[in-house]
Structure 1
Amino acid sequence: MISSSYSVTANSSSPGLVVHTQDHAANPFTYDLNVGQSKTFGLFDIWTNEYSLLQGFTSEPISVQFGFTSPTSGQGTINGQTYGIFTGFLNEEGVVHWDNPLNFAFGPNGDGLIQVSLSDETFNQGFLSLYGGPCDGATVKATLKYVSDPSPADVPEPGNFALFGLALGLLGFAAYRRRSLSE
């Protein structure tokens, strides 16, 4: 089972495209996945209320922080950018682009792996201007992939304890013999 909360941090003032976000998925979310399985779902909605790209061409940071509670606790962040562009035929649109997926390692040896990736989206596309508001926004989708289970913690072999005990016994016997021969 994979459980995590999430929070989105986006550009909320000029310069740059001012964007708004709203949770789309339950927060926290929980999915029951086995190794090799993945689940794609709408994570959050993104939009702008701006109608012009006058200062919206500047790339501004956006990030999503995940706070995992299952299979173990830990945090990780996916970073990206938001900006506005002109497309063909005088269309304008907002864009959200993500840098890299999050690889969340867990387990006693750090070899369990959950990968989270987010979808790039365009939003509020309009002819000669942006169509502002949440109705013309987009839903950023998350894909959770349970890549691998963690291996069990390394446990010393019982045979090593026997050898260690035998070595200590032999050292003790040698010390006893040395002391008894010198008396």
Structure 2
Amino acid sequence: MVRIAITAIDMALDLLAAESLLDAACGDAAWMVTAVLSRRSVQYTGVDIVEHVIEENQRSFPSHRFLAADCSQSHVQLPQADLVFSKETLNHMFVEDAVQALHCFRRASRYLVTNIHREAPNNMGASKGHHAHYAPYDYSLPPFNLRKICQLVPINHEDWTEFALFAL
């Protein structure tokens, strides 16, 4: 999955001639730093809700910027970036929180690269029970209604998953 994500990021950065990348949620950021940032000249900001992960990233990768933030909160202001990358982050949110996170992303950028499940019943995210549970979303459908610019990389033809580029 990481190799597919790297391909999607590279395609989107090239397509948009992007010079800055906001990674939400960045997790430990090791694969991003070694596989993408080590060979691309791009201003990077990693965002994650887990403060100790952000602190460890700052120690491990001091040349990159990291912020602790919950993107599902309406007051959160993220730094501006040419592109937001978010792999499976929104899928762990309740649908209402995912909608709010997209509003947060929209204030920071005009474009989003994320994984989607085409034609997913987005209402499953309203009753999934816990943030640890995964809900399939298609961000081109309600309640998200984002404009899909293009498919970047197909992931699995059987469950209609892909990485796609969206206009925020």
Instruction: Report the TM-score, using the length of structure 1 for normalisation.
Output: 0.22
- Give the greater-gyration-radius structure (CA): 1
- When the two structures are superposed, what TM-score results if normalisation uses the length of structure 2? 0.24
Higher relative helix content: 2
